[in-house]
Chain A
Amino acid sequence: MIQLRMPSSLPRIAAVAASIALLASCSDAKNQTPAAKTDSAAPAMSMSMSPVKIPAGAVFTEADVRFMQGMIAHHAQAIYMSRLASGHGANAHLLKFAQKIDQSQIVEIRLMQAWLRRNGQDAPDTSSWHSMQMPGMLTADQLKQLDAAKGPEFDRQFLVLMIQHHNGALKMVTDLFATPQAAQDVDVSVFANDVQTVQTAEIGTMQQMLGNL
């Protein structure tokens, strides 16, 4: 469905292994100790991500690069979820909301990819959600559960899970802004603020839609 492709096709390792191996490089820029955290909700990166190299004079940091890479995967899963709506008997209001998420986030993925490429960093493609686990992203079980639901039950599951998903995006933004020196790059800063504003409002909308089911 989504046509974007990343040229590099490095072997993909299981998410669990990746999370252990690369935890430090992507989850917690303040703490560079590899075994710093074992929180199961900690973000995981695919093995296909190269180590981040920050060019001299750049104002962006590793946290910015990992944020943009991780948010691609995060958005890609939201798009996958949104595209389930039409085949799962979603109501008209939800279908439209899902279409908005789809159209909004696909262009943001292109924006993030363009930023990463322009700055010489690996740019994940839209399949990256299979191998990267960012805050709020659905587990394999939750995905199965969503895919198995139809009609009003799909609507309910979609809203509950998408609220969880959006809350994860807000956490990613909060974590980014809490990282010293991060989000000084103007593209990252503007984008992160947009994510915060728009997804906060969308959570409100979804809570209302859920109440109206």
Chain B
Amino acid sequence: MGTARRLGTLAALLTIASIPALAQTYPTGNDPRNGLKAGMYDAGTAAEGMRLVSFSKKPAEFDSVRGLTFINSDIAFRDHYVYQGNFAGFTIWDVKNPSKPEIAAVVPCITSQGDPSIVGHLLFISAEGNGNRNDCGKGGVQSPTDHMAGLRIYDVSNPRAPKLVKNVQSCKGSHTHTVIPSPTDKGVVFVYLSGSQPARPATELAGCNNGTDPTDVNNSLYRLDIIKVPLAHPENAEVVGGARIFTGLDAAPTSTARREAQANRGAGRGGRGGRGGRGARGGDSAQVATQGAARPDPRQPTGPRNCHDVTAYPAMHLLAGACASYGLLVDISNPEKPVRLDARSDTNFSLWHTAVFSNDGSKVVFTDEWGGGTGPMCQATSMLEMGGNTTLTISKDKKFTQHSYFKIPSAQTAQENCVSHNGGLVPVPGRDIMVQGWYQGGVDVIDFTNPDHPYEIAFFDRGPADAPPAPGDTANAAISRGRGTIGGSWGAYYWNGLVYSSELARGFDIYELQPTDKLSANELAAAKLVKFVEYNPQSQPKIVWPAAFPVVRSYLDQLVRDNGLASDRTAAIGKALDAAEKQSGAARAAALNKLAGDVEKDVKGAKDSAKVKTMAAEIRRLAAASK
């Protein structure tokens, strides 16, 4: 990291932030994910720190491989059901028994890309594209009046018999969407629609207008449509406005391009990782902008006109927008009038795709869907600085600072579509951990507590769905034998003790994290204490841990792992915790309060005094709960 920061006075003068350096390389040959056997249902697997609890094939209705037509998309959670979108409908899984999920319902309905959210008894499904019909049928849209682009709303009061309540039409449709509860009315949610499609013509949907001026309040293009859903009357759901969070963004890439030229000049080649000869990065021939350099007249705005995906963190009134060439930070205190707080562009990001906040809201991980999700962008030859994650910190005054990149440390094959994709937090106290789908790159668990040094702590990977072409195969033969399968994990999420992953081509996976030296049994036990009845990953819930021994022991394990406190003290604290746990009621509370007092004395002089302090407070909280 350090090298890119040594930019000296010139950079300071221009108040240019440093471009994160890349400290990562693909492994050279001993990674267990290398060389896995190909196969749709009998592919080889490699895992570390997690195990497959169950795999369920797609329902027969979607069991066909034809490009994207029948692929699974995202998932949402409520009660003991998992709602899994598909480009041709959706599946509701009953996961009461995670080792044997059962299909509660399959609803065929052509709807790309079918991303779901669940709010109470209402299921929302994203509809983008030109081929979705109001009646869900096959055969394409014959008349514009049959075209459905927007949000489908189903009543799933009975998850075994979903009923379509309303198709809410919108100008640009919905590739993905994000639920934001009304801060003032529990009976109302707002839904932000994201996507990349142009606006429909006014002849198809009244009021739609494809303008080229981002500042024109009448154009439908440079906004996220906002739908208001009265939960008791979903049939009255309608578009109520647009989030105009792009205005003025057109010119900003200058700073990045210039910044990068600067970084390359200042940093030279050191410390940027990667393998020799692959990258064209670094070097010092990039020119700094000269005043008055001729610039072409912009032919059209080149800033974003939509987001691929936005992640709301309603408890913090924040939203992270992954919007084409920008990552945005947005205040959603009033969901109908969002306000952009900051924006970050980065030429190492091809397509800002999605975001995950840390639980305290001080960090956000953005992903780059380089190659659109269908390309094999994790090969040994693929650029390491693209198609991964980047970690940004958020200052108190709500400004971004970009820190580092992360890409799975495994070279995948040319048969495996792979790039960073959707994920969510694993609720381990004291650490920022996320689980994430990387398409055929598998499921990865990543620690981003230190924004400068994210690292992998667990993974599960299958071999490619298709075998590589045989020697001498013509391209046509390879296509007809293998099928160019687009597969892998669309998104992987931790929910109530397990990891659930939507597999595009194969079906539905459930995993359990396992203790390793990077993640302890206590940390996993603490994570399991966090329960959410309902979970929509793009509407991130605030994690609150109960007062409990595993929570205290998580901090203790972390202090041991990172040498945050002297080992004689951590050993003594561990023994005192064991002794206190054997007691009950007032005796336990007294023992814990005494221990907390001792730990408070450890704060000063500890290498990680902040964590010791937090642990002391957790012990006090546990004491209070023990009385």
Contact = CB atoms under 8 A, between A and B. Distances in A.
A212 B372 contact: no
Contacts of B298: 207
Interface in B347-389: 347, 350-351, 370-372, 374-377, 381-383, 386
Contacts, number: 191
B161 interface: no
Interface in B134-151: 138-141
Nearest to B87: A186
Given A107-B377, A205-B253, A207-B295, A197 B196 contact: yes
A117 B475 contact: yes
Given A92-B284, A191-B372, A59 B131 contact: yes
Given A107-B376, A167-B299, A184-B129, A100 B350 contact: yes
A57 B138 CA distance: 9
B579 interface: no
Interface in A1-25: 4-7
Contacts of A203: 299, 302
A160 interface: yes
A196 B390 CA distance: 23
A41 B129 CA distance: 29
Nearest to A156: B294
A189 B257 contact: no
Contact of B131 (A107, A189, A197): A189
B479 to A, nearest CB: 4
A118 B475 CA distance: 11
A196 to B, nearest CB: 7
Of residues A95, A96, A163, which shows the largest number of chain B Cβ atoms within 10 Å of its Cβ? A96
Nearest to A59: B140
B484 A118 contact: yes
B386 A100 contact: yes
A164 to B, nearest CB: 10
Nearest to A212: B289
B563 interface: no
B296 interface: yes
B303 A204 contact: yes
B141 A201 contact: no
B72 interface: no
Of residues A5, A97, A103, A191, which shows the largest number of chain B Cβ atoms within 10 Å of its Cβ? A103
A201 B351 CA distance: 9
Nearest to B482: A114
B293 interface: yes
Interface residues of B, number: 74
B287 interface: yes
B71 to A, nearest CB: 9
A107 B375 contact: yes
B127 to A, nearest CB: 11
A200 B376 contact: no
A48 interface: no
Nearest to B375: A107
A182 B198 CA distance: 14
Contact of B475 (A113, A177, A197, A204): A113
B333 interface: no
A92 B287 contact: no
A91 interface: yes
Contacts of A97: 347
A207 B302 contact: yes
Contacts of B377: 103, 107
Contact of A91 (B87, B286, B475): B286
B279 interface: yes
A70 to B, nearest CB: 19
Contacts of B474: 5, 7
Contact of B261 (A107, A182, A185, A212): A212
Interface stretch (B62-70, B74-82, B226-234, B524-532): B62-70
A interface: dominant SS: helix
A104 interface: yes
Nearest to B289: A212
Interface in A165-204: 167, 170, 174, 177, 181-187, 189-191, 193-194, 196-198, 200-201, 203-204
A205 B141 CA distance: 36
Interface in A79-110: 85-86, 91-93, 95-100, 103-104, 107-108
Nearest to B133: A184
Of residues B282, B283, B296, B351, which shows the largest number of chain A Cβ atoms within 10 Å of its Cβ? B296
Contact of B295 (A100, A189, A211): A211
Nearest to B69: A186
A16 to B, nearest CB: 28
Contacts of B66: 118
B140 A184 contact: yes
A100 B383 contact: yes
A83 to B, nearest CB: 12
A211 B258 CA distance: 10
B575 to A, nearest CB: 55
B285 interface: yes
Nearest to A170: B300
Given A117-B476, A117-B479, A118-B479, A210 B295 contact: yes
A140 interface: no
A190 B280 contact: no
Contact of B196 (A4, A85, A185, A194): A194
Nearest to B286: A93
B440 interface: no
A92 B381 CA distance: 18
B302 A200 contact: yes
A193 B299 contact: no
A205 B325 contact: yes
Nearest to A203: B302
A199 to B, nearest CB: 10
A113 B113 CA distance: 22
B264 interface: yes
A32 to B, nearest CB: 19
B520 interface: no
B130 interface: yes
B293 A213 contact: yes
Per CB-CB distance, the 3 closest pairs between chain A and chain B, nearest first, are: A204-B302, A92-B283, A95-B280
28 contacts: A57-B139, A85-B280, A91-B286, A92-B280, A96-B383, A99-B280, A100-B350, A104-B350, A104-B370, A104-B375, A114-B484, A117-B475, A117-B480, A181-B141, A184-B129, A186-B87, A186-B112, A189-B129, A193-B175, A194-B196, A194-B351, A200-B300, A200-B302, A201-B253, A201-B351, A203-B302, A205-B253, A211-B295
Given A92-B282, A93-B260, A189-B112, 20 more contacts: A59-B140, A91-B287, A93-B261, A95-B283, A99-B383, A100-B350, A103-B377, A107-B371, A111-B484, A118-B484, A187-B69, A189-B128, A189-B197, A190-B112, A190-B372, A191-B374, A201-B302, A205-B325, A207-B298, A212-B261
